[in-house]
Structure 1
Amino acid sequence: MASSAEYLEYVLDLLADVPEVSHRKMMGEYLLYASGKLFGGVYDDRFLVKSTESSRALLSVPAVPYEGAAEMLLVDVEDKAAVRTIVEGMLQELPEPRKRRA
């Protein structure tokens, strides 16, 4: 099941306080980036983030975005400040994006 544009807008509203957030549609779902780093996505109308040390400290509900994918964590909070704290903590732990070859 593909995610709805309405749910994406809801998630983007939650992320309004996170600097440099962008999204990319991929096969009916949406990948989420902050400062160029992939940190999560919207899968089947669920807001999921990568499992890092800081995200595991604040979130506890595991979820699999699609069959065969690595386990992620369900963002089950609706407080913009809490979401910003989660994402900003993750960004420090995620690797820098790879540079594309010309």
Structure 2
Amino acid sequence: MSTRAESIEHLLDALAPLPVSPRKMFGEYALYLDGKVVALVCDDQLFLKPTPGAQAAFPDCPRGAPYPGAKPHLLVTDALDDPDPVVLALRAIAADLPPPKPKKPKA
């Protein structure tokens, strides 16, 4: 099952204070903030990268793999009920991650 576009629209509305941009990949979505992948949306579920900032924001959050073979991520099940902690966690994740590598110029 893949993520529905309506789910992404609803999630982006809830996370409106952030300039989060989605990118569709293989029927699922990656969420970008400041050019960094901070979360995945798979099967209409939000998976946050488990950085120290995200773990501090959601210390008791269950973990799950967004797709088979993936490393465990934080599975935020109530993200839309109260988006403020998710906004804080996404900002912390973006701060925790290194800057994106520069793209190589095409030959």
- Common fold, TM-score beyond 0.5? yes
Contact map agreement 2:36 2:99 (CA 8 A) in 1: yes
CA RMSD of aligned residues (A): 1.1
Query: Aligned ranges for residues 31-42 of structure 1 at < 5 Å?
Result: 31-42=30-41
Which stretches in structure 1 are left out of the alignment for 5+ residues? none
Report the TM-score, using the length of structure 2 for normalisation: 0.87
Which stretches in structure 2 are left out of the alignment for 5+ residues? none
Partner residue, 2:83: 80
Partner residue, 2:14: 14
Farther-moved stretch of structure 1 (78-87 vs 37-46): 78-87
After superposing on structure 2, the runs of 4+ consecutive aligned residues of structure 1 that deviate more than 4 Å are none
Residues paired across the two proteins, number: 101
Partner residue, 1:47: 46
**Structure 1 residue 14 displacement after superposition:** 2.0
Q: Whole-Å Cα distance in 2 between the matches of residues 5 and 72 of structure 1?
A: 22
**Counterpart secondary structure, 2:13:** helix
Report the TM-score, using the length of structure 1 for normalisation: 0.91
